[in-house]
A and B are shown apart, each in its own frame.
Chain A
């Protein structure tokens, strides 16, 4: 079985500083992987690399999405992927449906799923579909973005800090949604600070430090504040 996301020997230097150092990662369908890391560890850089937005001169290594090299066929590779930024990127003056329709018009997406059913699946209540998004809460906006990922029929979901700024209930809903996506056969890569949530929905937990990903073996029961501190300090 080929992996949805495969990063091989990825190194990246920026302004003379080594940010990523021979990093490897494999992510399969039906798997949720969370990447932790302290501020400045290179999480955003890693995301930009996966999105193919880094300067080719600064970067060595290989990134395959759905088996396609992003450096060679970026558009084709990206059509398998949906990226959900930390701040939901919806246009406030458009409704949920209009937003998704607009985003779909930008890419080279040939086929897309029915938007209404995607919104239903993402758990956005139907009465709000046609209201401008500026009236939504952050959790609702997040759901619009996730519905878009479904509409795009992406196999790989890239989530950047999905829980930041959400209240406990919205966080809980989101966590369930991620599990749901995973069960439908998607691969999910989450970059987050929220260790508790990460433990809740992840199959694997990785710590980004010194430009490499280290597996973290932690289960919820053994998790304490002390161990968390150690976890972050150890790599600092």
Chain B
């Protein structure tokens, strides 16, 4: 092995290739890290601003030490955060398009949930330059460049027969050649990762996980290259290169695309904006309906407020928030069907990942980075839970018209950030 490595590392073109790979890996990690730390900064700032905003609200809306619960529900925004995980910089995945700071009020949730983050759409389309991308797309090319002509290059230099006269164990010899190259390829990915992660004292288990995924994936490609470039009549390096490049195109682009098409065809998904639209229609329809039509079903769900003072005026906040919530309730089957379809898509994708190594790597890294669909669904659930908590906190003040004191205001539930 030692001799194979010196044989490799004395070649200038190989050194150049490895340095390029090291540089790109470093850049991808750095880029991912910058994106994530930008998100973290923004979240930090938003948290700071939220505190100021809530104090400001108190100044503007409190009258004689109490607040109007209805006004509070309508005007006060609560921040919810989608904090990146510790290892999110590995694979940015959905992170850049999912809002990392979102503002939620007591109004119907479904009308507020589906906003995307503002970003440059062209650049989101071009895709992110993160570790996952580089590993999935570039590592195979590196393997192909180093290993497409294992036998053919020796044949071309008319060295094959001589080498075969020297080899004690041909299998061992070729295994040594392949493994030394595999080691170098893997190192160009692992070394920057190690150097990057070490000073930041990131947790160890995900790191080992990423290491294992990297090593396995490069090993898969090394084996594939070896199988093709060491077959009996593998003496045409160019044919090998073309064959391997075709496999690369197939695994990295064509098959994932076809799978995506199949997935979308098989699990059709209603556009999220449609839910938001229907929510608006329901809410606006409610204005024109008799108040009982909103309040009665609401009271069957919340019998504890059934005996609260009836609404006699043209407008009362309790009626307003009741029909807001009822619009959510009416949409619930559609919303859960949507979540179900998303889950099914995700499961189907995980099934495909067992067949396509490229998809498997992308998925596994995104799972570690928590930037995938399950994480999105979990975040939506966290938001929904927070929204419910908020409603339940404010309802007593709204329905039995308990005075909303400043003390109650300071104890308003706040969104629990997952990162803390």
Contact = CB atoms under 8 A, between A and B. Distances in A.
A102 B167 contact: no
A164 to B, nearest CB: 12
Interface in A57-111: 75, 78, 81, 83-87, 89, 91, 93-94, 98, 101-103, 105-108
A48 B163 contact: no
A101 B3 contact: yes
Given A106-B167, A107-B167, A89 B3 contact: no
Contacts of A85: 158-159, 161-162
Contact of A51 (B6, B10, B161, B169): B161
Contact of A83 (B3, B12, B158, B162): B162
A51 B170 CA distance: 13
B166 A107 contact: yes
A108 B168 CA distance: 6
Interface residues of A, number: 24
Interface residues of B, number: 20
B11 A93 contact: yes
A108 B157 CA distance: 24
A78 B10 CA distance: 29
A89 B167 CA distance: 14
Contacts of B312: none
Interface string B146-164: 0000000000011101111
A53 B167 CA distance: 11
B351 interface: no
Contact of B3 (A53, A78, A86, A102): A102
A36 B11 CA distance: 39
B161 A102 contact: no
Main secondary structure on B side of the interface with A? helix
A47 B159 CA distance: 14
Given A91-B7, A93-B11, A101-B3, A106 B158 contact: no
A105 B3 contact: yes
B118 interface: no
B3 A51 contact: no
Contacts of B163: 89, 106
Among A84, A86, A93, chain B packs the most CB atoms within 10 A around the CB of A93
A94 B7 contact: yes
A91 B161 CA distance: 14
Given A102-B7, A105-B3, A106-B173, A89 B168 contact: no
B45 interface: no
Given A51-B165, A83-B165, A89-B163, A98 B158 contact: no
A98 B162 contact: no
Contact of A53 (B11, B159, B161): B161
A51 B7 contact: no
Nearest to A101: B3
A48 B162 CA distance: 10
Contacts of A83: 161-162, 165
Nearest to A83: B165
Nearest to B172: A106
Nearest to A85: B162
Contacts of A84: 162
Given A85-B162, A106-B163, 19 more contacts: A48-B161, A51-B164, A53-B161, A53-B164, A75-B169, A83-B161, A83-B162, A83-B165, A84-B162, A85-B161, A87-B157, A89-B157, A89-B158, A91-B7, A94-B10, A101-B3, A102-B7, A105-B2, A107-B166
